[in-house]
Amino acid sequence: MVTPAFVLLVRPNGLGEMRAGFTVSRRIGTAVARNRARRRLREMARLVLPGAGVPGADHVFIARPLPAERPFIALLADARAALARAARKVAA
């Protein structure tokens, strides 16, 4: 699922537990910008995954470059919408 701030990949893992991974490439910017993006993605996942994540699946968040930093509330809304779409796809 593609959102303005990240791309979400979800695959069943056969372990029965939810896991999350994060990828932030050099296209995002300097090391400081990449670390900030990674911290924001981790916090977003910590808040959203327990309620909206796909059980028994790996979730990989790939950061996308943004011209201006996206508000955290919008990031949370993007995550919930992307996880809802992913849950529908995995269930099908």
d(CA 10, CA 30): 28
* Mean pLDDT over the full length of the chain: 92
Q: Is 18 helix (H, G, I), strand (E, B) or coil?
A: coil
Q: Does 66 score more than 90 pLDDT?
A: no
Q: What are phi and psi of 77, to 5 degrees?
A: -65, -40
C-alpha to C-alpha distance for 74 and 21, rounded to whole angstroms: 20
The answer, yes or no, to whether residue 68 has pLDDT greater than 80, is: no
Q: pLDDT digit string (tens) for 26-59?
A: 999 999 999 999 999 999 999 999 999 999 999 9
With 70 as the cut, is the pLDDT of residue 67 above it?
no
Question: What percent of the chain shows pLDDT beyond 90?
Answer: 85
User: Residue 83 above 70 pLDDT?
Assistant: yes
Domain-wise residue ranges, the chain: 6-91
Going by their DSSP bridges, the two strands 6-12 and 19-23 should be labelled as unpaired
Rounded to two decimals, what is the model's pTM? 0.91
Rounded to the nearest angstrom, the gap between the alpha carbon of residue 5 and the centroid of all alpha carbons in its chain is: 9
Q: Is the pLDDT of residue 70 over 90?
A: no
Q: Compute how many other C-beta atoms are within 10 angstroms of the C-beta atom of residue 88.
A: 10
Percent of the chain with pLDDT over 70: 98
Q: For the sheet containing 6-12, what is the strand order?
A: 6-12, 57-63, 19-23
User: Token digits for 25?
Assistant: 């490439």
Is CATH 3.30.750.24 the classification given to domain 6-91? no
